Amino acid sequence: MQIKWFGHSAFEIISDERLKILIDPFISNNPSCTIPVEEIEADIILITHGHADHFGDAMEIANRTGATLVGNHEITLFLSKQGFETVGMNIGGSVQVQNIKVTMLDAKHSADIDFTEEVISGGSAASFLLTLENGEKIFHAGDTALFGDMETIIGNIYKPDIALLPIGDKFTMGPFEGAIAAKWISPKKVIPMHYNTFPVIEQNTTIFSNFIAQMTPNIEVIILNPGETYSE
Ligand code: NI
Ligand code: MN
């Protein structure tokens, strides 16, 4: 399994069976991403919410690759009006997409589709739990505040192995809240995201790592640079 970070909340996960899953593919307007959008391949594209920095290049990439687009009901309604084949779902549900189980879970954030001429309702912001073919579970928190169900539902019920958590502050959790989220979700490994893309969300990852070391030293923090891949 490989997890590649494009910067911000954009990740490519390649499963052991070589399935390529893109999450929040903010590529061409992403200041921290140096990879041209034309080089991005995907089998499945997941969109956590309708904001431009998450929806990103989803339509362009799906057009070119034929990837399956997965999002909430409102996002997939919008996409199907543009002619795309989609898998629409909602918070609390799971779908099987190719060999991957995708579970949509909660996030506390706003979620309208903000890049169209007039803002369109985007439903609720979400997070995703992916269960890969080998049973490994990867949680992408999307944009979110800290909330109690991270412990009672995401941690206790779904038990992710790896959690991707925003730490940029201002629009999402900061490093302190992110470390508490990690404690509550209790994965084996955590990868911070949604920071250093823009000056307003600049963060020093050492602060996040130190909070984790103090609160839950058993959780391994993996810091990626944009373009870097974590493999296991
Ligand atoms: Ni957002
Ligand atoms: Mn965002």
What is the residue type of 133? E
What pTM was estimated for this model as a whole?
Answer: 0.98
Output the CA 131–ligand 2 centroid distance in Å.
24
In three-state secondary structure terms, 113 is strand
- The H or E element containing residue 154 is none
Ligand 1 centroid, distance to 109 Cα (angstroms): 7
d(CA 68, ligand 1 centre) in Å: 22
Report d(CA 33, CA 30) in Å as an integer: 5
d(C-alpha 144, C-alpha 204), whole Å = 19
Task: Give the Cα separation of 206 and 209 in Å (integer).
Answer: 5
Summarize the confidence of residues 100-126 as an average pLDDT. 97
pLDDT at 139: 99
**How far apart (Å, rounded) are the C-alpha atoms in residues 35 and 122?**
28
Residues in a beta bridge with 162? 138, 189
Mean pLDDT estimate for the chain: 98
Chain centroid to CA 226: 15
Which of the ligands is closest to the CA of residue 24?
A: 2
Could you tell me the distance, in angstroms and rounded to a whole number, from the CA of residue 217 to the centre of ligand 1?
A: 29
Q: At 67, is the pLDDT very low, low, confident or very high (cuts 50, 70, 90)? A: very high
130-153: average pLDDT:
98
The pLDDT assigned to 193 comes to: 99
